[in-house]
A and B are shown apart, each in its own frame.
Chain A
Amino acid sequence: MTETLPLPPACVTARRISKSFGGVAALDSVDLAPRPGRVLGLLGANGSGKSTLCRIIAGEMMSDGGELLVDGQPARFTTPKDAVRRGVVIAHQHPSLAPDLPVWENLFLGMERCGRGGFVSRAGSRRAAWHMLQAVGLDIDIDQPVERLSAAEQQLVEIARALSREPRLLILDEPTAALSAALVDRLFAHVRALAASGTAIIFISHRLQEVEALCDDLVVLRNGRRVGSWELDGSLDEARVLDLLTGDSDAPARLTERKPRDTQDVVLTLEGLCAGQALRGVDLDLHSGEILGIAGLQGQGQEQLLDTVAGFRRKDGGRILHRGRALSPHRPRDMIRRGICLVPNDRHRQGLFMDQTVGENLAAVALAMQPRPWRLRRRRLAEFVRQTIPRLLIKTRGPTQPVATLSGGNQQKVVIGKWLEGPVDVLLLSDPTKGVDLRARREIYDTIGDLVAGGSAALVYASDIHELLHHCDRILVMYEGRVVETLSGSAMTEQRVIAASFGRAA
């Protein structure tokens, strides 16, 4: 344990924190002592309790047991404001912003800069807001409503707000999930400077190389328990971390190489596909049995490409050919009938019925697409649900568990599983492992691999380059609405993907 080393005392200490939801223990007597001037990496699979722990420390949730100490004195945070007053600030993974309010107002939400009599000082706030955003490298119109911003920009607004509250302890909950590599570098520089000035930082990420690059200490959680912690000195023992994360020492630390497949049959062809500003002539061939990755910086049209092929977004020009036949998708329904299925980017809003159960979600597509709507095939659907849960290794108490109570990885498996009742010929996946832990990520790609082995194909967009390099047969790189590079075999290297992402040939 690192706590015995001569380090500055922790400003905020979580001691033996326990929390359970509906009888299931989310945290079991967990200690955490982030120290001033150091970045503490908090690693754990989804459902391991990282977010719960952080929310308790930030006053958004009360623990069932244990205590928080601020400068050695017991403290009780009943609201986020209590925590902020004591210098504990959290930047959430999903930005908590008011979409209709301008950017500058969101930066001061709940902590308005007021002049005499409680009137908001507009000029001062706007000027301060501009400086706050400059600090994180965001140069946008601060008067526009936040809803106009991209996911990456909203994330940076959330981070800028947290930074501005002059935290003694800053919690960054997966801040990089939506950011491009350049923005991540910039953020890290800022975090390091903040740490150097004596702030304690808790950093959560699923990307090991980010933890390696940024963190001084590491704590690993599994199933609500602290299973390991040590000091990092610039390098990370990846195999050890993976073992601790999965609790499965037999699991290979690296993914097994995918066997080359017969890739002669073309399943899907795009010719000069255009849609609005996002897609400006996309050409690609998707072969039977392959997993084709789409890489590139954020917002180069990857998500729109998948949406357009799925019939979810109108195309303005070009052709989509499925098994040699030209299609003009008007509705997702037309594409689903042909087995072209989308696992959308935002699983909470587009992928799942969050207030329904696992079983209802798995059966949703089958119900919507059944040929004779007046005849419910209850028994068949129940059978399908019963088989799909173990097939995709969905960790659930059963089909009647509300889908909202599953971890992110298991929710994503449900999104994939709902398509399996019908034929799947082209599986479109938009960042399928966003906020998904490493083990579930592997299981999701295993499922995709099994699916395409039967002759169908998958088109995957992922914001994590390593994920694509690990799992895909070929990688396309998009830049400003076009495919600028196709890489396969030994040419599939991080370097070439990144070079192409910036619109340059390697």
Chain B
Amino acid sequence: MSAVTGQPRTRLAVAPWQALRRSGLGPGLLMLLVVVSLNIALQPDFFSGSSLSGNIATFAPTILICVAQAVIVLSRELDLSLGAGVSLINCVMASLPQDKLGGPLGVIAVAVLVALLLGAVNGLLVAYAGLPSLVATFATGAIWFGLALTIMPQPGGVISDAIGDGYAGTLLGIPVPLLIIAVAMACWALLARHRAGRRIIAVGSNPEAAAVAGIPLRRTKLLAYLVAWMLVCLGAIAISAQTMSGDPRLGQSYTLASVAAVVIGGVSLGGGRGTPWGALIGALVLGLVTNVIYFAGISSSWQEFVKGFVIVAALGFMVLEGRRRA
């Protein structure tokens, strides 16, 4: 009972099962196990090379956008404009003259600039103007969508073949989509060990304590938005590489998906708790659920229904887990 005793109780390592419980990844991993089993049952060649690399290429954008949302949620904010931002970046890319601007690298540079601009606008509105992120980013999402429609009222335009081929190819024998995911996660892993990343989590966990401890709240939140939008940019480029054209409605479904993945992955919407690894697991669960629907021959109109169901189940898991802890 009493934790103040004369005996040293400080341990150097945490037991693995305890680490798992603390991480909040349990429910997400369980769901991943279930959907992977279903996938294997429905699609016997699930683990074959072509099927795996196809899946990874499809899932990469979702994963990147979900991890982005996780970074923002960790700082106790939310971004409901991610999906529309993806569309806008995609439309800008597709409407650029692909052979000028120094080729594909120029197009990618413009995409990065646009993403940074969108992230900065959201970050400034939320952190510096103090608007509630739920409403502010919902509104800016409408603005991004409007801009995307203005640039490209109908789906069209082209993305240079170099980007598409690059995404479908391999580098050092590793498929590029897998490499992109790995780079994104490595960036997070570094950030999580860096003062800046720790401060994002501290601000999300208790903003007042962070402020009293001398952590600059506004700058830290802005940073979270900028980091997240770099990941969103990467996601948008990956999708563009797959579709090879522009579509102002392309990103629509990613906003809900990113919030869902964060919840499934055990990232607390109250901030401060969870890891982007959870968001990665959540994104995989959502992607594989879509696969299951497809391969089981269920009408795709049930997709949203099933996704919503999965999200509610994940929330239920979290509540049960919280109750057990209390």
| A interface list, Cβ under 8 A from B | 60, 79-81, 84, 92, 96-101, 105, 109-112, 114, 117-120, 122, 130, 137-143, 145, 149-150, 152-153, 156, 182-183, 277, 297, 299-300, 480
Contacts and interface: CB of A to CB of B under 8 A. Distances in A.
Given A80-B212, A81-B214, A97-B209, A299 B2 contact: yes
A109 B22 contact: no
A233 to B, nearest CB: 32
Interface residues of B, number: 37
The 8 closest A-B CB pairs, nearest first, are: A110-B213, A81-B214, A98-B205, A100-B272, A96-B209, A110-B214, A109-B213, A100-B205
A143 B205 contact: no
Given A84-B214, A139-B5, A109 B202 contact: yes
Contacts, number: 107
B202 A139 contact: no
Main secondary structure of the interface of A (DSSP, over half): loop
22 contacts: A81-B214, A97-B206, A97-B209, A98-B202, A98-B206, A101-B201, A109-B202, A109-B213, A109-B215, A110-B202, A110-B210, A110-B213, A110-B214, A119-B195, A138-B3, A138-B4, A139-B5, A140-B4, A152-B4, A156-B4, A300-B1, A480-B1
Given A100-B201, A109-B202, 5 more contacts: A96-B213, A97-B209, A101-B201, A105-B198, A111-B214
A96 B212 CA distance: 7
Interface stretch (B7-15, B45-53, B61-69, B133-141): B7-15
A451 B130 CA distance: 47
A300 to B, nearest CB: 8
B196 interface: yes
B273 interface: yes
Contacts of A84: 214
Interface in B204-252: 204-206, 208-215
Interface of B: 1-11, 14, 22, 190, 193-196, 198-199, 201-202, 204-206, 208-215, 268, 271-273
Contacts of A277: 1
A26 B280 CA distance: 51
A99 B6 CA distance: 25
A137 B4 contact: yes
A80 B190 CA distance: 28
Nearest to B192: A120
Given A81-B214, A110-B215, A139-B9, A150 B194 contact: no
A139 B7 contact: yes
Nearest to A59: B214
Contacts of A138: 3-4
